[in-house]
Amino acid sequence: MAILFGVVAIVGVISWAIVKSDELSGIGRTVKKGSFRHPHGRLVATHCESAAEDVPYGARLLKRVPVFTSLLTLVVAIVGLVMEANGIVAGVVVVDVVASGVVVVLMAGECILRLAKGMQRFSVFIVVVFAGLLLSTACSMFATAMGGGAESFIVVVSRTVSSVAGCALGCALAAAAFREPARFKRRFEDGYENEIAVSPHSAVYKAYREFMVGKKAWESGRRQD
């Protein structure tokens, strides 16, 4: 589990750095055209295609809960526990897989699919996975502590169910933190244009607002003062 945490954390940091580098391309005092960070030179104009989502956190949370994968995981876990209780070796394997936190990938995947298209990024997926792993581990440890460290059938059931529930809740809480971003079109000094989605709470959003022009000015390629 520790290795899984480490891998997720490292991949998450790398993904975040790549996304931020792209967002900041063309912005700053030392923009050098053709460089790794600024391949197209300075940002000269932006146009807002759609505003950011304005939905309360609670409402977003209800929409992000991975209902399907959570129920599926619980059913598989219960079947595995029953098999284990009846001496079937395969049941032990099933329970170990469920308790290991690997199922967080499925739950996080469902949460990502429930997000707006603009937020369906790998970096967001990593954050959701990490949150699911964290809460899953915490709930599992709590259930074990409440059972006094015993390995009775009841304790194992409690720990497994707690792990699944914690994983689902962790993924949902993290996914709900991401709102549908504002979508901008960008134009750089070499004429290159593309679209990008940014959070309305980020410094990049404020910078893009400073470069923003109206639709007519955007289409004509002129900066609107």
pLDDT tens digits along 93-110: 887 777 766 789 999 999
User: In the chain, where are the structural domains located?
Assistant: 2-52+182-220, 57-176
Q: What is the pTM of this model?
A: 0.68
Tokens of 159: 């720990």
Contact 200, 181 (CB under 8 A): yes
Of residues 53, 75, 162, 69, the one with CA closest to residue 109: 69
pLDDT higher than threshold 80 for residue 64: yes
Q: What is the pLDDT of residue 2?
A: 59
Share of the chain above pLDDT 70, in %: 92
Q: What is the pLDDT of residue 109?
A: 93
In angstroms, the Cα distances linking 97 to 30, 94, 158 are 50, 5, 16
In angstroms, the Cα distances linking 154 to 108, 136, 143, 151 are 28, 18, 10, 8
Tokens of 110: 């469902």
Q: What is the pLDDT of residue 113?
A: 93
